């Protein structure tokens, strides 16, 4: 399974990448929403994990763009943020949300649920 992590915080992106790779997932990293769109259109991904607050295109804007395109509308999207500036309520296009900081087990639970095809919208309330 190929996962794209989108985060302008290199340390966070690399930490998530190492965790997911240790559990058998293939991972690529994009540092911005625009870079993510380019990579998604050029490659095959099974899941996008995106930070909410990034310069340029935010995570919710990236999610809205992907869900509006029939070619990527079914791609599961996990948004994550530690910022109160991320208003995910305005964007219902993502499939799950994870508040930073989070436990490794919470990230893995969301990833496995989304890759299994289930919407995890209520999962964040339990993890």
- CATH code at position 45: 3.40.50.2300
Which tens digits make up the pLDDT trace of 70-111?
999 999 999 998 776 665 545 667 888 888 888 999 999 999
- Structural domain for 10, as ranges: 2-126
Q: Which residues of 26-45 are buried (b: 16+ CB within 10 A; e: fewer)?
A: ebbbbbbbbbbbebbeeeeb
| Phi, psi for residue 26 in degrees, rounded to 5 | -90, 140
Q: What is the mean pLDDT of residues 2-8?
A: 96
Distance of CA 18 to the CA centre of its chain: 15
Supply the pTM of this predicted model. Answer: 0.87
Number of domains observed in the structure of the chain: 1
Percent of the chain with pLDDT over 90: 65
């Amino acid at each position: 399974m190929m996962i794209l992590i989108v985060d302008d915080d290199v340390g966070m992106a690399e930490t998530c990448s190492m965790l997911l790779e240790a559990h058998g997932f293939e991972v690529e990293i994009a540092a911005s929403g625009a870079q993510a769109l380019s990579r998604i259109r050029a490659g095959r991904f099974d899941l996008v994990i995106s930070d909410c607050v990034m310069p340029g295109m935010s995570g919710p804007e990236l999610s809205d763009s992907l869900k509006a395109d029939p070619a990527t509308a079914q791609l599961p999207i996990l948004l994550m943020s530690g910022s109160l500036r991320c208003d995910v309520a305005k964007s219902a296009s993502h499939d799950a949300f994870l508040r930073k900081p989070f436990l490794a087990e919470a990230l893995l639970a969301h990833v496995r649920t989304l890759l299994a095809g289930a919407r995890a919208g209520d999962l964040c309330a339990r993890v």
